[in-house]
Structure 1
Amino acid sequence: MSEIINNREQLTKSNSERLSILKQLFVDLHQGRNLDEVKAHFDALIGKITIEEITQLQHDFVEEGSISAKELQHLYHQHSAIFQGAIVEDGTQNGRLEEQPGHPVHTFKRENREIDKLLSKKLQVHLEKFMKEDSTENIYKLMEDINLLLDIEKHYSRKENLIFPYLEKYGIFGPTTNMWRIDDFIRDAIKDCRQKLVNYQGDKEAIIAVVNYVIQEVAGMIYKEENILFPMALNNFTEDEWVKIAHESDEIGFCLIDSAEVWKPERKALEEKAISEGYIKMETGILSLKQLELLLNHLPVDITFIDQDDVVRYFSHGKERIFARTKAVIGRTVQNCHPPRSVHVVEALLADFKSGKKDCEDFWIKFKDKYVYIRYFAVRDENGNYIGTLEFTQNIDPIKAIEGEKRILN
């Protein structure tokens, strides 16, 4: 079913009021108000905040352009201090996908645990020894730790090249702009630290400063990822998108772990009833399997069919599909093909079809350069039993442009 329809709920009045307060607090912070005062007002007026509100707050600042990108970068650093301990889950995280071994978020968190151990069990310990004595041995130990930390490039690269593009697809630009800048600062600091250690000439304070900066910023990024970025992604991405991210992760590699487990999201097994060769006899004719497939793929519309158990059984594969489909959707429930926050719309429509309250539902939307007509039909057998739902999608721009009559060939 089309994931374009109602993927975003409109903010309620209470949410709008909360966002107005939040925006004013951050404007005050931008204008020089003391961080502790802003934090106190946040605790008193807001108390708890959801990932959705953080997303909207960042999006609004970017859209309005009232604060420059550089200034937003500075404010973004302060978000963590203000939101510390105040972020609550909104209950839409799709069955705790991040707890499933091999899921991209599970893998990112595994890496974060290894990064955290490297920071606290090695780098911090070796820094303290170096602070007491800048011996060759202590310098080498720091260098070994920093060399290991260079592996963080794979972690950040997967985040930036696999997570960020999907966030932007959903109109979420705050993390993609600000986190990437911070990632680059961290990369540069790690390289600078390594260079200073390689060329160490007794400037002990410079080493201490850059190592402390690296520890602070890397630890801060772990917090931002796990409390802001990953929940944002989990609240928006479909299971199919996570499957693509998991498949493409191997090409970039992993940080401080050998590999990720193979993630196999649950699929409902489909019985192999298709006739691989020969013909299919229907009430009004006989077609070969090849003829039937070509016929469906040449229709000037896109069709998708889900069965009575909400499992995607089929989609046509014409030359110019309006909404992309991959074969990975076959055998999945339609609910898992949509972002969690729009699942209730899908379920409401299916409930109406199953109960007999409705037999069809139509939508029409502007999508890219097309005017798209989307129709849903309850498919019933001769006894009126619900068999499934058919989605019918068509670009009606050419039809709307028709005038007069055409009775002869060109």
Structure 2
Amino acid sequence: MAAERIEILKDILLDLHHGASPESVQEQFNQHFSGVSALEISLMEHELMSSDTGITFEDVMSLCNVHANLFKGAISGVEVPDSDQEGHPVKVFKDENLALRAALLRIRRIISNYTDPENKSYQTEIIKGLRHQFQLLGQFENHYDRKEKLFFPIMESYGHDAPPKVMWGVDDEIRELFAAASDLVQKLPQADIAELSEKFEAFAKEFEEMIFKEESILLMILLEIFTQDDWLAVARESDAYGYAIVKPSEKWQPKRQSFSDKNQSEMTSQLQTELGSDNTQVIETPAGQITVSFTPKEEEAAADRTKPQPFGNGYLSLEQADLLLNHLPFEITFVNKEDIFQYYNDSVPAEDMIFKRTPSQIGRHVELCHPPKVLDKVKQIFKLLRSGQRDKVEMWFKSERLDKFVYVTYAAVRDKNGEFQGVLEYVQDIQPFFELDSDYNRDL
């Protein structure tokens, strides 16, 4: 990947940001490129946002569609044999996009039927069908959640942090457009169908642009940088976030060579036999003798998780401490003093979590774990806790998705010397508190 190409791409986008027309920029682009890799686009966006040009991720996000149109037809594809297998995250992602596109088309037809005077007597049935299709289309939230919580952390671990940041910001704008259209659907027949059609098309335009960005840019980056283990991790954790309209019909299991302990022992034994009792062998070469030696690796004894250790005001084994944390009636997350997401407990299955957490998020910077629209608020909370201005920040809200009240606490974690060591977040479903029976002796 030539650095010169990155610089040319960056200069072209800078011209665009400084007011050049999309047409002139397109001509400039066509003069220099017959093909561009998705990785080059990623690196270009990273350099653009991290250089002293004054271009922020908000600037890049505002021209995201113009960028995508610039690259249409010029992006080089990447072929990975496994990616078309049933259950592979790439195939699942593309299948969802097909199903979501189909839902868009059905909604357009239903809106058209609603406005047809000949169908006036069937409006109740049409509204019912429209609401059902919106409910199906609304499952794009699961599609976006998997992208943001599973794809993005792995991308960031390889140094590609610019595309996730920009794409997450656009995702949130698309969510807002969908919410505006959905609100009008629920108000039918009182709502104005023309206004609904206008808001739906505004959403559909951005949504279809995102599908292009996902399949022509995002997935191309992932196919170039992800290992098979990365894809397996995504497949393993996807159920926690759910799917959009369609689900994988089978589990993806690539063919892999087994390197079991038995195979390793056989290989070690064979090597020791070939080298001799002293684990050395002399090999004659035209340049002289070479002595090969082999030292068997000593196996480290695994820590005894059942052995009690001094722990606070008593003794606990690792196994007991893990069990206790997982039996607390809270979802716990710990972010260390370097702002790295380090731990979460398993108080409930991942699919039932209020704030979903999966193993791939461990090791991620806390700022990358949140959508751009709430990032300033998160930074402010951590600043208050780190500085000592506050020991706790508490809030509650009504979750429409879960239909329950949620109580969230961010607490500063300090050692015995008062030094800041991180932030503990605990999240509690407080809906049962509203449903408590006032009779204390009822069940006694």
Residue 253 of structure 1 contacts residue 259 of structure 1 at CA under 8 Å; is this kept in 2? Answer: no
Residue identity matched to 1:169:
S
User: Residues 71 and 126 from structure 1, CA distance in 2 versus in 1: closer, same or farther, beyond 3 angstroms?
Assistant: same
How high is the TM-score relative to the length of structure 1? 0.61
Partner of 2:111: 127
Partner of 1:143: 131
- Count of residue pairs brought into register by the alignment: 274
Please state if 1:102 is matched with 2:87: yes
Whether the 8 Å CA contact 1:29–1:35 is kept in 2: the answer is: yes
Amino acid at match of 1:207: L
Deviates more, 1:143-152 or 1:256-265: 256-265
1:266 equivalent in alignment to 2:245 = no
Instruction: Please give the residue correspondences for 1:110-121 in structure 2 after superposition, counting only pairs within 5 Å.
Output: 110-120=95-105
1:158 aligned residue (130, 135, 146)? 146
Name which structure has the greater RCO, CA cutoff 8 Å, separation 6+. Answer: 1
Percent identity, please. Answer: 29
Question: Quick one: distance in 1 between partners of 2:296 and 2:221?
Answer: 39
Match of 2:185 among 187, 191, 197: 197
What is the aligned counterpart of 1:167 among 129, 133, 155?
155
In the alignment, which residue of structure 2 is the partner of 1:70?
Answer: 58
Deviation of residue 275 (structure 1)?
A: 7.8
Distance 1:24 1:180 in 2: 24
Q: Secondary structure at the match of 1:171?
A: coil
Q: Which residue of 1 aligns with 2:216?
A: 227
* CA–CA separation in structure 2 for the residues paired with 1:169 and 1:270: 26
Shift of 1:21: 2.2
Question: Residues 92 and 247 of structure 2 are in contact (CA less than 8 Å); yes or no, is this contact kept in structure 1?
Answer: no
- Alpha-carbon shift at residue 45 of structure 1 (Å): 2.5
Is residue 72–residue 178 contact of structure 1 (8 Å, CA) maintained in 2? yes
Query: How far does residue 119 in structure 1 lie from its aligned partner after superposition?
Result: 1.5
- Aligned amino acid, residue 60 of structure 1: E
Q: Does 1:176 align with 2:179?
A: no
- SS of the residue corresponding to residue 299 of structure 2 reads helix
Taking the aligned partners of 1:108 and 1:229, their CA distance within structure 2 comes to 11
For the Cα contact (< 8 Å) 1:155–1:254, is it kept in 2? yes
296, 299, 304: which one pairs with 2:299?
296
- Per the normalisation by structure 2, the TM-score is 0.56
Aligned-partner residue type, residue 201 of structure 2 = N
Structure 2 counterpart of 1:236:
225
Cα distance between partner residues in 2 of 1:75 and 1:35: 10
- 1:246 maps to which residue? 235
Q: Following TM superposition, by how much is the alpha carbon of 1:270 offset from its aligned partner in structure 2, in angstroms?
A: 5.0
Partner of 2:9: 22
Q: Using the alignment, how far apart are the partners of 2:7 and 2:85 within structure 1?
A: 37
- Residue type matched to 2:155 in 1? L
CA displacement at 1:114 relative to structure 2:
1.0
C-alpha distance 242-202 of structure 1, shift in aligned 2 (>3 A): closer
Mean CA deviation greater in 124-133 or 54-63: 124-133
* Aligned AA (2:95): R
Equivalent residues of 2:141, 2:244 under 8 A apart: yes
Q: Distance in 2 between matches of 1:274 and 1:97?
A: 27
Deviation at 1:274, TM superposition (A): 7.3
Aligned partners of 1:155, 1:259: CA distance in 2, in Å? 13
Q: Deviations over 1:244-285 (max 9, x none)?
A: 111111111111113452111111245745789xx9999469
Distance in 2, matches of 1:146 and 1:79, equals: 29
Give the letter aligned to residue 97 of structure 1.
Answer: D
Between the aligned partners of 1:23 and 1:54, the Cα distance in structure 2 is 9
Go from structure 1 to structure 2 and tell me whether the alpha carbon gap of 1:18 and 1:296 turns closer, same or farther (over 3 Å shift). Answer: same
1:198, 1:81 → 2: CA distance?
34
Query: Structure 2: which 5+ residue stretches go unaligned?
Result: 280-294, 303-444
Q: Is residue 174–residue 203 contact of structure 2 (8 Å, CA) maintained in 1?
A: yes
Give the CA deviation at 1:85: 1.0
CA distance, structure 1, for counterparts of residue 82 and residue 178 of structure 2: 32
1:29-59 superposed Cα distances (whole Å, 9 cap, x missing partner):
1122211221122122323211121111111
Number of the residue aligned with 1:41: 28
More deviation in 187-196 or 124-133? 124-133
| Alignment CA distance shift 1:270-1:169 (3 Å) | closer
In 1, the alpha carbon distance for the partners of 2:154 and 2:263 equals: 36
